[in-house]
Amino acid sequence: MRRYTILAVCIMLLYASHAAAEFYRWVDSDGKEFFTNNPAKIPQEYRSRSLPVKIDEARVSVRDNPLVATKMPVSVKEHKDKYGRGEEYWHDKALNLRLKLHHLQDEHDLVLKQLEGQDQKPKKNGSKKNRSYSSVEKKKMKLEKDIAKTRKMLEVDLPEEVHKAEAYEGWIRE
């Protein structure tokens, strides 16, 4: 009797190892894709639209023996915009604008500190002081214009250029 029980358990284990779990796929109202192997976990409103996922053995790798590498060599082609420029070009262009904006903002902060320092000093009646004050004010105004211009280039002009070149918008994000 014990021998038959052991034999039955071994047969069940053998068949259980060959059983393939079935996976299901569904897409929610936001367009997000979900997978599960338990149909009970699929929300009620998506159960009618869920589909079983077919397993492609050619894409499965087990331990140190990847079947994908031996059967299907994959070459990934780098995406380019319609002018032949890739991700690196757009990333560098956005980075340069960000660095320029950061540099201008630092300069602006220094000029504001200079103005603050001049306001705290006692005023003397002299044309030289008035002239230096106005030059610092002019520098401040010029920096504010440059900051606004660079910010517009980064936030408006560059995304438009990316769109026209049919490049990925993610290439210019931080």
Q: Which helix (H) or strand (E) holds 40?
A: none
Average pLDDT score over residue span 90-100: 93
Domain map of the chain by residue range? 20-71, 87-172
The segment with the largest mean pLDDT, out of 47-51, 74-78, 152-156, is 152-156
* pLDDT for the residue numbered 133: 60
* pLDDT for the residue numbered 131: 56
* pLDDT for the residue numbered 153: 94
Please report the DSSP string for 44-83 in residue order: GGGGGG-EEEPP-GGG-EETTEEHHHHH----PPPP--TT
Given the structure tokens 């000029």, which residue do they identify? 111
CA distance 137 to 143: 10
Whether the predicted pLDDT of 35 surpasses 70: yes
* pLDDT for the residue numbered 132: 56
Percent of the chain with pLDDT over 70: 74
CA distance 6 to 2: 6
Q: Which two tokens stand for residue 65?
A: 């023996």
> What is the greatest pairwise CA distance in the chain?
116
Given the structure tokens 């994959």, which residue do they identify? 74
Whether the predicted pLDDT of 99 surpasses 90: yes
CA distance 97 to 144: 15
* pLDDT for the residue numbered 49: 81
pLDDT band of 17, cuts 50, 70, 90? very low
Whether the predicted pLDDT of 151 surpasses 90: yes
Q: Which two tokens stand for residue 103?
A: 């540099």
* pLDDT for the residue numbered 102: 95
Average pLDDT score over residue span 6-12: 72
Helix (H, G, I), strand (E, B) or coil at 31: coil
Helix (H, G, I), strand (E, B) or coil at 160: helix
**Cβ partners under 8 Å of residue 28, min gap 6:** 34, 43, 46
**Strand 33-36 versus strand 23-27 pairing type:** antiparallel
Average pLDDT score over residue span 151-163: 93
